Amino acid sequence: MWFDERAFKMPLVVVDFEFCVSACGERIVPYQIGACMLHSNLKFGRYMRMGEPVRQCVTAPHVDDAWLLSRGAVPASDAMRAFVEWLVEDAQSQYGVILLAHNAFSADAFLLSQLLRRANIAAPFCFVLDTLAFCRFAFRGDATSFSQDALAQRYLRTTPQTHSADADATNLAALLRFARMRTPISGIAMPLGSVPITCARSIGPTTAALLLQHGVPIEVSAFASFVRAHGWPACLPAKQQSSLADLVRSPPTPHAMLRQLACALSL
């Protein structure tokens, strides 16, 4: 759906993960989750035990289970249960919750849905909005780099430090509050656990919004079913049809997206 905070009164919650790549190079292994309520600045954070050998982590070179245990790490299922309890208690809404993450469909959204599924935990109805796309719009014609570090350094005058999930979530929340002074938060919001067509190369939020206007689903499996039943949408240029051809033939799952990321980071 297209979310605009002026029209939908839903809690906005910033979420961030820190993770490593497994020793075999095929899995993403999260070791920390951080979150921050945008409207109240209430925060959540947990370190998680990894439970398997990992490669050296770029953002925390010394991370291992001993390092995590010294910081109170808990099993991932316990961290997810605590997160959902925090979410339900502090973000009560009959319409659901909007989870905000920078470059959300690179890892964060898929990690959260995977961890919740593995722990067999039912979360409140959540949508995920990619703040990278929103920041490209909010700071268009001004910023030259849209990474979270670059934007924070430019607009918040903060300097990059050692990354942690809770600090990154708090930093992104501050950046979004600044961006809201320019324009309300808006963008494509996907149900947690779904893969949007914007994961395909050259398919951005503008194209996704156009498809929504024409009644075309933008979740990959639903989009593939639509194309098989009705053919390519007339509003979609041939170049973008080519970009989506592989996705239509074999719609990726969140698990497949995470494995693809792990393999890319292992190169």
User: What is the arithmetic mean of pLDDT over 177-199?
Assistant: 87
Provide the pLDDT for residue 222: 93
Cα gap 35→101, rounded to integer Å:
10
Instruction: Provide CB contacts within 8 A for 229, sequence distance 6+.
Output: none
Full domain range(s) for residue 42: 2-195+253-266
Higher pLDDT, 161 or 112: 112
* pLDDT tens-digit map of 212-265: 888 999 899 999 999 999 999 888 888 888 888 888 888 888 887 877 777 776
Do 110 and 235 belong to one domain?
Answer: no
Do 165 and 225 belong to one domain?
Answer: no
Question: What CATH number should be reported for the domain holding residue 87?
Answer: 3.30.420.10
User: What is the arithmetic mean of pLDDT over 128-142?
Assistant: 87
Do 113 and 206 belong to one domain?
Answer: no
Q: Do 59 and 163 touch, CB atoms closer than 8 A?
A: yes
* pLDDT tens-digit map of 25-77: 667 778 888 888 888 878 888 888 877 666 656 556 667 777 777 788 888 88
Number of domains comprising the chain = 2
Provide the pLDDT for residue 56: 59
* pLDDT tens-digit map of 141-152: 887 788 888 888
At 106, the amino acid letter reads S
Do 34 and 114 belong to one domain?
Answer: yes
Do 123 and 208 belong to one domain?
Answer: no
Provide the pLDDT for residue 225: 92
- Characterise 170 by phi-psi region: left (phi > 0), alpha (psi -120 to 50), beta (else): alpha
